[in-house]
Structure 1
């Protein structure tokens, strides 16, 4: 008996030691007890719950049913308050109250109110305080001279109180690094891994404070060809989540960093970049290229930025627009006048101001040189689509083609409906689709070649040709564009610093096939505001405003040596509709931007 009692005692001591050291048996030595530390009336606080957004947290529900929640991030002195309601759906989805907008390297004060239910009893809790420390913002940076911070500093130059509740997402990237250029996909037939820069995605408030950023290591890897590539095409969906793509993937995540889906492109397509547009029917338009295309000369090529696919929520490809079959891939008027120092993100200062001669282009077209190079024909960068939008009134898409300097509307039947761009160089079948410029009274504006009288101008190497849905119908189409301005007038200017960019809106009469320029900004800012590549112009219906990101403006360039002496210093500007001066201006220091946009927290958390 003594031996048996001794064994039992020893076993109990061993079990106690195991429990204290955390070495539990299957099922847990203490059973299904949950004993995480709680700092309030709910459960534990989990910082960065999905390992993608370090300035977010979830206050776990603590076993209660939680409803009617609201969150307030107490601002720093003189800072911007972030306050939002949380739907019961969001509380259930995250297993607690989602917290967004923490300051980095700071002990944040978070106020929450909610109702909790358990065992037939309910309690309303008002203004419960949680103290949440978020660590310093930290992602990979470029190691070249001149980099002084992980994220760009934001200088708020102008802020109208009407916009003081804004939160702005910037979709930027660091410069190419040795790590990002070790794997190359573009030899010999092209691919997007040439564009393999580390993402710098962040949200700033109107005080210039960082309030969210992506730490992408869980979904991005420089060295994995199927997890690399520049993140582009961010759009906030009507459910509040964001969609975008990179390299060989297209994805959807919410603001907390929770994955909704993350998919490889369908196998027949490759090289996402620039554009992924949510359609009104729940599908997505995705700008890709063909993995294998047979040219008329029998050569098989991977094409370059010239295919649009429509995918449904399950990832099925329900339609495609093969632009090399729809348009003229040999229209080379614009290709011959592009500044070869800034062919979209392939910026090479040593080639600044240089153009391709007709002889060079013709020689290249006859050769087997394919890939992400400026040139005619499928297999080269002849069209370079950088945005795509959808018009539900006639089931059409609208593309922005940088290398044709044109906005083009194409129907479901794959026929061109109209072309908003210079009439030069179009074949007969497209020439009558080019819109006619008119003034505010409907009078035709005199144009010769690519230049028109008065203030009207076509767009040049433009980005983001989007339909303003709230102002458009089947007859009238309001178009917003960022007119980058390279090769303006189908030529390079005598002096490089004569270049300028514009945010511009057009009114298109789709019955009369006319176009009227109704608003512009940027020409008066001159070369300081000039963005040779990227950028965005968008109408924002919530504040009836125009949002603009001149995303590669402000770089210091030495015209004598042909070298950039600093990274770009891009501008965010926001205008009240119809006004000529911005109500908001924020400049970011030392960063290359792609696009930016206001973020709507009510979409993200209240639905």
Structure 2
């Protein structure tokens, strides 16, 4: 697409050009001389205008973001000290008649042209809201977990390509707010929860070892330009999963449940948030050796407590439980969202457990002294709000300046009777309940913004829709890195094969992509099922679980099915070569699907 012979008075307008950002457009035209151009989406009020000035050029291919849903948007195009034009871009109702916001309490003077961007934790998709609570940006695909702005102005977010249930994605997208994907970073262990841009542009990414029996206990550093993995941290090398103290949601497989990574250049260290050990853990970036642990020491080995844990000092101190989103402030303090789920360690559940209706969540800031190994609580917000601000999962805090913070309680849930839910919000809609999110900005302990939204949202971020150096680069995007070899089931299931097709009652279908395929089907609970790829004497087997498993953590329920019999089995093409027949073992019979996959 080029600017062609279009002019400011007669521009080419492409609404939702990349088909994933339906509150955006791209306009194209030429000017006779090189000139900067300012695009302004005219708001419903003057204070709601969203503008950006692009660098001087003759050919202009300009992203337009900040359009309203279900509205005839007026967009001004103005050349520097030159002509202007106002065009109309009609946008359909992208929310299907629903208002995603209950209310927004703030002022245009405070929020200005910033938006509050929220990312999925359930059926709702990413959106961004202005000071009036109007949606000004939206994604129509489930790109999940935290959305951050990179130094070059692009956004980074998880892909919408599910690698493994419940929410392990193929990797990350570097993407323009108007939906143009510049890079897809694929990882052998996929992506979950969080990422962090280093000063040199390389990316810290939370991932898994898909060959391991555990999950959410690995971090990698990837090269921004090539996708190559430069460094790997395996948490089992600095913590023993068999001796860590357990949170109320601990499981043997998900023993750490890392939901955040933060690099502190002042100490050259990484801080991870381990939800299932109720602890924030700091390690040396180079050696990977453990430096310290912030958390309730109950249940930990005494030698670990003596060496790595802090002793509380001062008044009004409280430990965090099943926390999310740790942040290191410029002076070295440690902040997080204290979900306070259960309000105690697993070893104390019998005597100290807090029911959801009696619980609270909060943002909290701790001051640590690593010489004396003391810890002091210097700020909190949310405790006094009680159960109405309680989120047993997800959420985040943001540090803007001294005394100026965001606290996002994104996992509020109510059961079908209107009471505070004991279940994680991702499951509550299936049980007839409802979900909410409350995002607060606090300045000198005074609430300056309160966004009350429908649904649960993983995290919230405040940003401008246009990056400081926003440009739209045309051309093909890059696919960097590669997926890993999909783990196979080690035991062969004996089954009779007679060439019969898999019965229609299983509703089987294949969704194929360039680097993998997904087998969708519906089976009854408890059936023994295996997906087979066969090529002559070569065969590969992938076990399909039909056993209902209690989920103690569900930081993103976007891919959960309301019918628990529905299965999704993803197989990467890495390690496979040639053409394979796809067959399915159900109990003691092997069926054909009539489908071949070429790898």
After TM superposition, the score normalised by the length of structure 2 is 0.69
Pick the structure with more strand per residue.
2
- What residue in structure 2 maps to residue 319 of structure 1? 231
2:73 to 95, 102, 108: 108
1:305 match: secondary structure: coil
Q: What's the counterpart of residue 58 of structure 1? A: 26
Instruction: Quote how far apart the aligned CAs of 1:87 are.
Output: 3.2
Matched, 1:385 2:258: yes
Query: Are residues 154 and 410 of structure 1, via their aligned partners in 2, closer, same or farther at CA, if it must alter by over 3 Å?
Result: same
Give the corresponding residue for 1:308.
219
Structure 1 residues 512, 562: CA separation in 2 closer, same or farther (over 3 Å shift)? closer
For 2:442 and 2:374, how far apart are their aligned partners in 1?
A: 26
Q: Is the 2:65–2:466 Cα contact (8 Å) retained in structure 1?
A: no
Contact residue 108 and residue 131 of structure 2 kept, 8 A: no
5 Å matches for 1:489-528? Answer: 489-490=344-345, 491=349, 492-493=352-353, 495-528=355-388
Which moves more between the two structures, 420-429 or 579-588? 420-429
Q: CA deviation at 1:49?
A: 2.2
Gaps of at least 5 residues in structure 1 are 1-31, 116-123, 140-147, 176-198, 221-229, 294-300, 339-373, 440-453
Please give the residue correspondences for 1:432-443 in structure 2 after superposition, counting only pairs within 5 Å: 432-439=307-314
Unaligned runs of 5+ in 2: 160-168, 472-599
| Structure index of larger Rg | 1
* DSSP-derived class of the 2:82 partner: strand
- Distance in 2 separating the partners of 1:561 and 1:422: 25
Which of the numbers 410, 413, 421 marks the counterpart of 2:287? 413
Q: Does 1:261 align with 2:183?
A: yes
Shift of 1:489: 3.2
1:580 aligns with 2:435: no
CA contact (8 A) 1:321 1:414 kept: yes
Q: Contact 1:493/1:499 (CA < 8 Å) preserved in 2?
A: no
For 2:2 and 2:93, how far apart are their aligned partners in 1?
Answer: 34
Measured after TM superposition, the shift of residue 57 of structure 1 is: 1.6
Structure 1 residues 133 and 495, CA gap change in structure 2 (3 angstroms): closer
Greater share of helix residues, 1 or 2? 1
User: Residues of 2 paired with 1:66 and 1:508: CA distance?
Assistant: 54
- Aligned 8 A contact 1:461 1:486 in 2: yes
Query: CA shift at 1:457, angstroms?
Result: 0.9
Task: Tell me the CA shift for residue 557 of structure 1.
Answer: 6.1
Matching residue of 2:550: none
RMSD: 2.9
Q: How does 1:164-179 map to 2 (within 5 A)?
A: 164-175=112-123
Residue deviations 1:449-471 (CA, integer Å, cap 9, x gap): xxxxx411111100000112xx2
- 1:134-153 to 2 correspondences below 5 Å: 134-137=91-94, 149=98, 152-153=100-101
CA contact (8 A) 2:4 2:30 kept: no
* CA pair 402-562 structure 1, distance change in 2 beyond 3 A: closer
**What SS class does the counterpart of residue 569 from structure 1 fall into?**
strand
1:225 maps to none
Paired with 2:309 and 2:203, the residues of 1 have a C-alpha distance of: 27
Aligned equivalents of 1:160 and 1:276: distance in 2?
Answer: 31
340, 343, 367: which is aligned to 1:488? Answer: 343
For 1:561 and 1:206, how far apart are their aligned partners in 2? 30
- 1:250 Cα deviation after fit: 1.7
- Asked whether the 8 Å contact 2:66–2:465 carries over to 1, the reply is no
Residue aligning to 1:596: 460
Aligned residues: 446
What is the aligned partner in structure 1 of residue 396 from structure 2?
536
Give the TM-score of the pair, scaled to structure 1.
0.68
Instruction: Show the counterpart of 1:81.
Output: 49
Structure 1 counterpart of 2:211:
292
Deviation sequence 1:230-284 (CA, Å, 0-9, x none):
611221112221112241222211212111111321x3x24x2111111223111
Q: Which runs of at least 4 in structure 1 moved beyond 4 Å after TM superposition?
A: 32-36, 63-66, 556-565, 604-607
Instruction: Tell me how far 1:514 sits from its aligned partner.
Output: 2.3
**Do the aligned partners of 1:308 and 1:321 also contact (CA within 8 Å) in 2?**
yes
Cα 1:210–1:66 change in 2 (3 A) is farther
The match for 2:437 is 570
How far 1:84 moved relative to its partner?
A: 2.4
Measure how far apart 1:501 and its partner are: 0.3
Aligned counterpart in structure 2 of residue 460 of structure 1, from 289, 311, 321? 321
